[in-house]
Structure 1
Amino acid sequence: MRRMTKKVFDGILSHYYEKLFIAFEEPKKATKFLNQNIMSEDLKVLHTSLLKGNGVITVTGHYGAIEYIPTLLAIKNFPISMIAKFKTEQLKKKVYSQAKKYNIRMIDAENTGNVIRVAIKELRENRILVTECDEFEEWRPSEREKTSFLGKETVLDRTINVIQKRTGAEIVFGVIHRYNLHKYKLIMYGYEDMLKILHDIAPSSVGETVLKFLERYIYSNPEQWYQWEEYYVINVAGTAKSNPARRKRSSPLLKPAFDRVS
């Protein structure tokens, strides 16, 4: 248990290093690093999905090198859109400045109005919308659907379901597995492949499918996930209870609105 706890904390420290690196490193050096240190053969899944013309919702989670996903996709010439919230106006300016350098289109969740409508607009332009399925505080709980996540019963977030139904967008699950700070692997699955792998569970919706798929990776590599503190305060309504003390300690630079590891 001590060994696993240490690995979890090491993973959290690595996460914050990656967050700072991608936020402040100059694009030329960051691009070289990402190209040299991330195995990205699975980008073919994204290429195939984008060809269908309805946009792609790339769903990830707080797993591995999440901070590298939008930038990696952008330097590979994918049209990336992201929904984000910002702690301060200064932080917002910094993130927008960095995103512009990579041609990433940022959407300010707090000053955009109807965020779902904007997300739909982005997808109808055949863009890739990057989002997270384990951002518990941002969930819009379903009144009907329930599931279990890491052994805890919870309702499901309906946001991804709503956006996908209105756009017909393809769903791609993606995480970057971290071996160390110089070796990573991008892992991506299309929706049909996820359903085949989860055939024994038979998920009821897109939202449940991506959440259960993320769960598989967390069970296999718990040290790669850093939402444990949020998990322990999630309630059956599917939303995390507020903890002001924890909020003060946490200062994420960017908060987006996730077997094939060898």
Structure 2
Amino acid sequence: MALIAHITDLHLRPRGLACYRVSDTNMLAERAILALNGLTPRPDAVVLTGDLTDKSDPREYALARQILSRLAMPVFMIPGNHDGSADMRREMSGFPGMDGDVDGKLCYTAEIGDVRLIALDTNIPGKPNGELGTPQLNWLSDRLSDDNRPTLIALHHPPALSGIQHMDAIGLNDANALAEVIGPHKHIQRLLCGHLHRPIIAEFAGKIMTLAPSTGHQVVLDLTEDGPPMFNFEPPAYFLHHHTLQAGTVTHMAYVEAYPGPHHFFADEGVSWPGDDA
């Protein structure tokens, strides 16, 4: 069994600065950490699929260390396009996997309950799009072949197209090569992604891709041609991946903010639910 929280795209800024001048991503990340620590049952681990920072600034990483150290469970992170692989490895040393290195890419494996996590690095320095590269793809192929336990693969850039054209234009360059590597492996339960700031579920290479929303602002859902890049403040959320031997991996979306309830299901007086004893 394993319960894994999946958060993404914190876009932390130096204290006192808002992301894109209007998004208080630091405050929103703090709220997400409080929500995760308050879960019952508590997750076995948190997977953070990139864009931990907004500018890969040492001040942003210092804030990230402070915020993420408050989590009551291990945190497994990977770089996004707003981070830097070398910067993350240096500034977040001490967190799991930060010594992983394949041709400069920050990638590693981890065990979370009875699930195996394979964390990949799609960062291209100075570029918004992503790429795994041949050495990392070869490493991934070897890791998938040497262990057939239920496996989650984490990467920032989603390999499947979303229909949001301005985001698809900065997607994963070598998605087809990734499909060739993962296609034959039936023990892959999920691809965990970020980057698009929206909750999206899609099929890729016969696998289920779960793209989590941001803990901060969200990309506007615009499926028209040539829609402009815009963001809004839809409710921040995260995914919970619950793995059991009986059901495999089941993914739930949970919201960061608290809402009214919970309330019991009570019928009006004198009214019974269908199937209740009258």
Question: Structure 2 length as normaliser, TM-score?
Answer: 0.34
| Greater radius of gyration (CA) | 2
Question: Structure 1 length as normaliser, TM-score?
Answer: 0.35
